[in-house]
C-alpha cells in the first residue's frame, strides 16, 4: 500500500511538472501572438502606404502589381502564423486539464533501460524542445499501448519494425490536472477505465475514444493499405467513433499532403452531423466535409425537381401498407436500387449511342433558334465510335460558333438599339465599367453604341451559351421517361404499375427517392460528369442503408477516393436494404472487412435483452457493465400509456439521467405523442429538419435516432400492431439499442413478437 502511495505521489508530481511546462509555453505563445496580432493590425492599416502605385507605363504597372502581391502575401503569412499559434494555445489548454491517459515502459531491443512513454491527445516536448514528455496517440510508438500487453512487442515506423519488451502498462484518469485514477493492466484497455468512461451520462456530442481504443478499433484507425475498409459492427461497438479517430489519424499521418477538406463524411441525417461535430476539433483537427446522401442528391438536381427524401419513403413503407399500390411500390423500390436496374440503364445508353437521343430546342425572344431535330441530326452525324459525352461536346462547339454568328447579326436589330436607349444610369455605368476591364474604352458615340449593343445581345444569350458550354443539350427527363418504357424493363414483375406511379410523380415535378440515383446516373452516363478528384477519402456511415447501385454511383463520383464503410446489417431499416444486397455485404475488389461483435454502449442487461431480437444475436458480446433490467409494461388505454411514460420520465430525471429519448415508430406517431405529452413534461420534438439537440427529454421517430445514444430510452408503443411485420424488426432493434443505462418499453395491447417471450410478462 505504501509503495502504491509513493507511486501515486510521483505520478501527481509529474502532472504538476507538465503543467509548469505548459504554463511556460503558453506565456511564450501568448507574447508571440500579441506581437503577431499587432503586426497584422499594423499591416492592414498601412497596407496601401507600403505599396508603390504607379500606372503611367507598362513596367510601372508590373511593379505595382508585384508590390501589392508581396504585401498581401506578407499579411497572409502573418495571419496563418497567428491561426497556428491559436490552435497550439487551444491544444495546450486541453493538455493542461488532462495531459495524458496512458503510459508504457518500453525497452527497445539493444537498449540498456526501458523508456517511459506517456500517451495523450497531442504531443508535448520539454521546454528546450529536445525530448518528448507526451506522445500523440497517433504516433507510431503509441500503437504499442493499443495493440500489446506487457511482454514482447513491436511497432512499425517508416524506417522499419522496432522490437522490444513492454515492462509496464498503465492507464490514468486525470481531470482538472488532478490524478483521479491509475490502473496497471495486462490487457489492451482495462475494464476500470472503460467503466469510468462508459458509466457516465450520455452527451449531446459524441465522445472522443482515444483513451479507450480497443485493439480491433485501432486496426480500423491505423489501416493505410485498403482501398475499401468495410466495418460490420454491432450496435454500440464504437465503429463510428473509431472512424472519426481514423480521420484524425489520417490527417496526422499525411499532414503534409492531406487536409480536412480532402475528407468527406456521408452521415445518416443532419442531427447526426451535429452529434459528431466536436470529435475532430477536440483532437486539434479541422472538421471534415460533412453531408448526407440526400443533401448530395439535392445539390445535383437543383431546382428542376423536388427530390423525395429517404424519411418520406420510410414513412410510406411503415404506414401505407393498406393503401392501393403499396406492394408494387415496395417491389419498385427494391428493383430500382439493384445492380440489375443499373445494368438496364447501361444497356439503354448503349442503344442511344446509335439512335434515340432526345434533345432540347433553344428559343430566343419567342423564336426557334436551334430545333431539337437540328441538334439531333448534327449529333448523329459525328462518328459513332466517339463516346456520347464527346459527341455532345463537338455538337456544342458547333452550336456555339453558330450562336456567335447569330449574335453579330442580332446586334443590328431595332430592339437592341431601343433597349440601349432605355438603359438607366446604373446600367450604363456598369457597362462603362466593363469597358474599362476589357480595355475597350470608347471615344465617340458610334463606338459607345456598338459596345452597348454587343453587351445587350450577349446578356440575352447568356443562358443559352451557359447551357451549351455545360453540354445541357439533352432532354434528360424525356430520356428517363423513355427508359421507363423500354422492353427490358417490361419483363419486371408489376412493371406497368411501377412505371405508372413513377411517371405520375414526375408529372408532379417530384422524383421518388428510389429514382433519384438512377436518374442522375443516366444523366452522367450521357453528359459525362467531371469527377470529384479533390476528395481523397470518403467515410460512409450507416452503410447498410446504401444499395449497391448507390455505391457504384458514389464510386463514379469520387474515383480517386479510398473509402471507410461502416454499418450494421441488423439496423437495415429501408425497404431496399432488408433481406437484400447492400453496400455493407457487397463484394468489393481491394476491400478488407473487420467485424466488431462487442457492444460497449449499453449495460450487459440491455445487450442481453436486445440481442434476442435478431438472428445471430448470440454472437454479440456485452461489455461487463451492470445496470437495471429493461422493463416491458403492457397497458390497455392511451391514458394509461401516457401516465406511465410521464411517471417514468420523472423517475429517470430524479436518478440524474440527462438525455431521455421517447422513441416512436414514425414522425406521425411522434407528432401525436408530443401533442399529448407536452403539457405534462418538458419535451422537445425532433423532426427530420432538426440539426442539433440539447440535453433533456426528447421525442423522435426511430430512424432519426440512428447512431445516437441516450442515458435512457422509452419505447412509446412496442405493440404487435406497431411492430408486427418482419420488415419492422430491425427498426425495433435499432430503437432499443440507443439506450446506455435504462430501457423501458410500453405496449398498448399485445406486445410485439420481437420482444423476448420471457420478458413480455
E strand spans, 145-247: 151-157, 160-175, 178-184, 228-233
- Contact (CB, 8 A) for 586 and 548: yes
Bridge partners, residue 660, by sequence: 697, 712
Collapsed DSSP state (helix, strand, coil) of residue 232 = strand
Query: For 159, which DSSP code?
Result: T
Collapsed DSSP state (helix, strand, coil) of residue 121 = coil
How far apart are alpha carbons 677 and 643 in whole angstroms?
9
How far apart are alpha carbons 217 and 208 in whole angstroms?
13
Neighbours of 141 (CB within 10 A): 18
Neighbours of 87 (CB within 10 A): 14
How far apart are alpha carbons 556 and 275 in whole angstroms?
29
Bridge partners, residue 540, by sequence: 266, 565
**Residue 608 vs residues 95, 397, 621, 744: alpha-carbon distances, Å:** 38, 66, 9, 14
How far apart are alpha carbons 93 and 281 in whole angstroms?
13
CB environment 604-641: b (16+ within 10 A), e (fewer): ebbbbbbbbbbeebeebbbbebebeebebbbbeeeeeb
Bridge partners, residue 599, by sequence: 622
Whether 234 has a binding-site annotation, put simply, is: yes
Q: How far is CA 44 from the centre of its chain?
A: 37
- Please list the alpha-helical segments (H only) found in 46-142: 58-97
- The helix or strand, by DSSP H or E, that contains position 263, with its residue range, turns out to be strand 263-267
Residue from 135, 96, 129, 130 nearest 116 by CA: 135
Whether 668 has a binding-site annotation, put simply, is: no
Query: For 288, which DSSP code?
Result: P
Residue written as cell 444569350? 461
Whether 237 has a binding-site annotation, put simply, is: yes
Whether 177 has a binding-site annotation, put simply, is: no
How far apart are alpha carbons 245 and 381 in whole angstroms?
55
Residue from 465, 466, 475 nearest 522 by CA: 475
How far apart are alpha carbons 75 and 619 in whole angstroms?
59
Cell (9 digits) for 452: 452597348
Residue ranges at the known binding site for ATP: 233-240
Binding residues, as ranges, are 233-240
Amino acid at each position: 500500500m505504501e509503495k502504491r502511495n509513493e507511486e501515486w505521489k510521483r505520478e501527481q508530481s509529474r502532472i504538476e511538472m507538465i503543467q509548469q511546462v505548459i504554463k511556460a509555453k503558453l506565456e511564450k505563445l501568448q507574447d508571440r501572438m500579441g506581437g503577431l496580432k499587432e503586426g497584422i493590425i499594423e499591416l492592414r492599416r498601412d497596407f496601401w502606404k507600403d505599396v508603390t502605385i504607379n500606372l503611367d507605363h507598362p513596367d510601372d504597372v508590373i511593379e505595382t502589381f508585384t508590390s501589392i502581391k508581396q504585401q498581401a502575401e506578407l499579411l497572409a503569412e502573418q495571419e496563418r502564423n497567428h491561426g497556428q499559434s491559436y490552435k497550439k494555445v487551444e491544444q495546450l489548454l486541453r493538455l493542461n486539464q488532462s495531459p495524458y491517459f496512458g503510459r508504457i515502459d518500453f525497452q527497445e531491443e539493444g537498449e540498456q533501460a526501458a523508456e517511459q512513454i506517456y500517451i495523450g491527445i497531442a504531443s508535448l516536448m520539454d521546454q528546450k524542445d529536445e525530448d518528448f514528455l507526451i506522445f500523440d496517440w497517433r504516433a507510431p510508438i503509441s500503437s504499442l499501448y493499443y495493440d500489446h500487453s506487457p511482454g514482447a512487442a513491436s511497432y512499425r515506423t517508416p524506417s522499419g519494425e522496432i522490437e522490444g519488451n513492454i515492462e509496464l502498462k498503465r492507464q490514468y484518469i486525470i481531470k482538472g490536472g488532478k490524478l483521479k485514477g491509475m490502473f496497471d493492466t495486462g490487457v489492451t484497455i482495462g475494464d476500470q477505465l472503460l467503466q469510468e468512461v462508459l458509466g457516465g451520462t450520455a452527451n449531446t456530442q459524441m465522445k472522443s475514444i482515444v483513451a479507450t481504443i480497443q485493439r480491433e478499433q485501432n486496426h480500423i484507425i491505423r489501416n493505410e493499405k485498403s482501398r475499401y475498409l468495410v466495418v460490420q459492427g454491432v450496435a454500440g461497438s464504437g465503429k463510428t467513433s473509431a472512424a472519426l479517430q481514423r480521420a484524425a489519424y489520417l490527417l496526422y499521418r499525411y499532414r503534409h499532403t492531406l487536409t480536412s477538406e480532402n475528407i468527406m463524411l456521408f452521415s445518416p441525417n443532419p442531427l447526426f452531423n451535429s452529434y459528431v461535430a466536436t470529435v475532430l476539433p477536440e483532437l486539434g483537427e479541422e472538421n471534415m466535409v460533412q453531408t448526407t446522401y440526400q443533401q448530395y442528391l439535392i445539390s445535383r438536381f437543383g431546382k428542376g425537381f423536388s427530390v423525395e427524401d429517404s424519411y418520406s419513403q420510410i414513412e410510406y413503407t411503415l404506414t401505407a401498407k393498406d393503401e392501393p399500390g403499396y406492394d408494387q411500390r415496395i417491389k419498385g423500390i427494391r428493383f430500382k436500387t439493384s445492380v440489375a436496374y443499373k445494368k438496364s440503364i447501361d444497356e439503354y445508353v448503349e442503344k442511344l449511342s446509335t439512335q434515340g437521343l432526345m434533345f432540347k430546342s433553344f428559343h430566343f425572344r419567342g423564336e426557334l433558334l436551334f430545333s431539337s431535330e437540328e441538334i439531333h441530326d448534327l449529333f448523329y452525324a459525328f462518328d459513332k465510335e466517339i463516346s456520347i459525352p464527346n459527341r455532345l461536346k463537338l455538337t456544342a462547339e458547333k452550336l456555339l460558333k453558330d450562336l456567335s454568328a447569330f449574335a453579330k447579326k442580332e446586334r443590328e436589330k431595332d430592339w437592341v438599339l431601343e433597349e440601349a436607349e432605355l438603359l438607366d444610369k446604373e446600367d450604363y455605368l456598369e457597362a462603362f465599367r466593363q469597358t474599362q476591364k476589357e480595355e475597350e474604352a470608347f471615344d465617340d458615340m458610334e463606338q459607345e453604341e456598338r459596345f452597348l449593343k454587343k453587351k445587350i445581345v450577349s446578356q440575352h444569350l447568356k443562358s443559352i451559351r451557359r447551357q451549351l458550354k455545360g453540354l445541357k443539350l439533352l432532354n434528360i427527363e424525356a430520356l428517363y421517361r423513355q427508359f421507363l418504357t423500354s422492353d427490358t424493363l417490361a419483363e419486371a414483375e408489376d412493371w406497368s404499375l411501377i412505371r405508372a406511379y413513377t411517371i405520375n410523380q414526375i408529372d408532379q415535378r417530384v422524383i421518388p427517392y428510389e429514382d433519384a440515383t438512377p436518374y442522375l446516373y443516366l444523366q452522367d452516363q450521357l453528359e459525362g460528369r467531371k469527377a470529384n478528384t479533390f476528395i481523397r477519402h470518403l467515410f460512409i456511415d450507416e452503410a447498410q442503408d446504401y444499395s449497391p447501385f448507390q455505391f457504384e454511383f458514389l464510386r463514379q463520383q469520387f474515383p480517386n477516393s479510398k473509402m471507410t464503410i461502416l454499418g450494421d446489417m441488423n439496423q437495415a431499416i429501408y425497404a431496399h436494404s432488408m433481406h437484400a444486397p447492400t453496400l455493407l455485404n457487397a463484394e468489393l475488389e481491394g476491400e478488407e472487412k473487420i467485424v466488431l461483435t462487442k457492444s460497449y454502449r449499453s449495460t450487459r442487461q440491455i445487450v442481453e435483452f436486445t440481442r434476442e431480437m435478431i438472428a445471430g444475436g448470440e454472437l454479440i458480446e456485452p461489455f461487463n457493465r451492470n445496470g437495471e433490467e429493461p422493463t416491458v409494461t403492457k397497458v390497455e388505454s392511451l391514458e394509461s400509456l401516457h401516465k406511465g411514460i410521464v411517471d417514468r420520465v420523472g423517475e429517470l430525471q430524479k436518478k440524474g439521467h440527462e438525455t431521455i429519448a421517447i422513441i416512436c415508430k414514425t414522425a406521425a406517431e411522434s407528432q401525436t405523442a408530443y401533442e399529448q405529452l407536452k403539457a405534462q413534461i418538458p419535451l422537445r420534438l425532433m423532426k427530420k429538419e432538426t440539426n442539433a439537440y440539447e440535453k433533456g427529454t426528447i421525442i423522435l421517430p426511430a430512424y432519426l435516432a440512428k447512431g445516437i445514444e441516450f442515458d435512457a430510452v422509452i419505447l412509446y408503443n412496442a405493440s404487435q400492431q406497431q411492430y408486427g411485420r418482419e420488415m419492422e424488426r430491425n427498426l425495433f432493434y435499432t430503437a432499443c439499442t440507443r439506450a446506455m443505462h435504462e430501457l423501458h418499453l410500453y405496449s398498448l395491447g399485445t406486445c410485439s413478437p420481437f420482444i423476448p417471450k420471457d420478458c413480455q410478462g
